[in-house]
Amino acid sequence: MRRTMLEPIPPKWKQLWDTCDLRSFIILSLLLQTFMIFVAPLRKRTKSNWVMMLLWTAYLLADWAANFAVGLILNSQGDPSSNSGKNDKTPVVHKDLLAFWAPFLLVHLGGPDTITAFALEDNELWLRHLFGLVFQCVAVVYVFILSLPHNRLWIPTMLMFLTGMIKYIERTRSLYLASADGFKKSMLKKANVDMSSAILMYIYDSMREANLPAQIEMIPVQDGVKKVNTTKKAIKRTLTQLELVQYGHLFYEKFIGLFVNRIYNQKEWNQSRAFFLNRNSEDAFKVIEVELNLIYEVLFTKFPVVNGKYGVISRFFSLVTICLAIIIFKMKSKTNFSEVDVTITYALLFGALGLDLTALFMLLISDWTIIALRKSPDEERVNSLKNRIIPLFLKLRIEGTLEVIRYNMLASIY
């Protein structure tokens, strides 16, 4: 008696998978990017476990979905029958569209500006992302080469490839700068650590590693030593919104050295002490909030990489390439392209444009932009254009800072 083996997966389900697998993962990847760019900033303002869980899930799924979609594109291109279909009922993506979709996944792997890492440990994986950048670029180039020489969309494909590569490089560099080694190297340069402090810290660390007794003792300033002058930083008055950002950045730059075990002298501690003693509790905590917000963005976002002139040029280039890709795709013949695939392509194009515009807007209203326009509170207000722009940015500024328990311990400490 012949035994027949039942198929574990019904043919209808197989056909549905063959039809929707790649398309579904590309749309999923776009949706995850959209979700993260808007929800990631909420980490700084909420303690909701649901928000954290959803963001963590999206963060893990985003790279997986994009990588899986690239694999599906490679598999489709490697199949000789992919352009003719597995059966007559299965609509197959045209090879030109496959080559055009691949760079969008590179853009998605670059991730949004608002999140590069979910935890500090993720930054230590920067080398893995660097290898991923190389392999994914090779995969996208391979798919593009297979579509030649009759690819009608080679120009927009190249434009999106450049955009995707830049975004992936930005993410990899952000991860490196926030890693233990990268952070220490970059912060030591900014902290201006003198040789005596560096040598002292080296001796201290060596003695601790050798299990020898060692401790750091702060010696108070003697009465004969001239005290720190109380400049306008220590004058008792309410700070403006601009000054809150400026002083927050000032103390961020000064005390970021604590992360690399910098030793501060008594003068620096006295300056900080004098400043906060002459602030009301609300202004003091707001300055600390700005400082914490800058530290958060250095460790978990792209803002340290994309701020300044490079950020403006990068975002402008990205917007121009996406707009050109939309125009060229609109003008090209879409013969043999299915209506569904054309719709998905437009969704990718306008989705990329929307994400870039959102990222540019968030960059413009961030503390980094305000600091770039007027860094020091002592800077003279000469440029009239800056005077008109800064108040606008301050109104739009999102006070998305880490919550600080506002119990005024400053008076009791000092």
pLDDT at 259 over 70: yes
Q: How much is the pLDDT for 129?
A: 93
The per-residue pLDDT for 386 is 73
Q: How confident is residue 106, by pLDDT bands cut at 50, 70 and 90?
A: very high
At 152 the three-state DSSP class reads coil
Task: Return d(Cα 91, Cα 108) in angstroms, integer.
Answer: 25
Helical axes 49-78 vs 11-39, angle rounded to 10°: 130
Residue 342, pLDDT > 60, answer yes
Q: Determine contact, residues 236/278, Cβ cutoff 8 Å.
A: yes
pLDDT at position 198 is: 55
CA–CA separation, 219 vs 105, rounded Å?
57
Mean per-residue pLDDT of the chain: 81
- pLDDT at position 209 is 77
- According to the model, what pLDDT value does residue 201 have? 65
pLDDT at 154 over 90: yes
Answer whether residue 323 shows pLDDT above 90. yes
- The rounded distance, in Å, linking the Cα atoms of 303 and 362 is 10
What local confidence, expressed as pLDDT, does residue 412 receive? Answer: 44
Work out the pLDDT band at 387, boundaries 50, 70, 90: confident
| Cβ atoms within 10 Å of 52's Cβ, excluding its own | 15
- Tell me how far apart the alpha carbons of residues 61 and 33 are, in angstroms, rounded to a whole number: 10
Assess whether pLDDT exceeds 60 at residue 131. Answer: yes
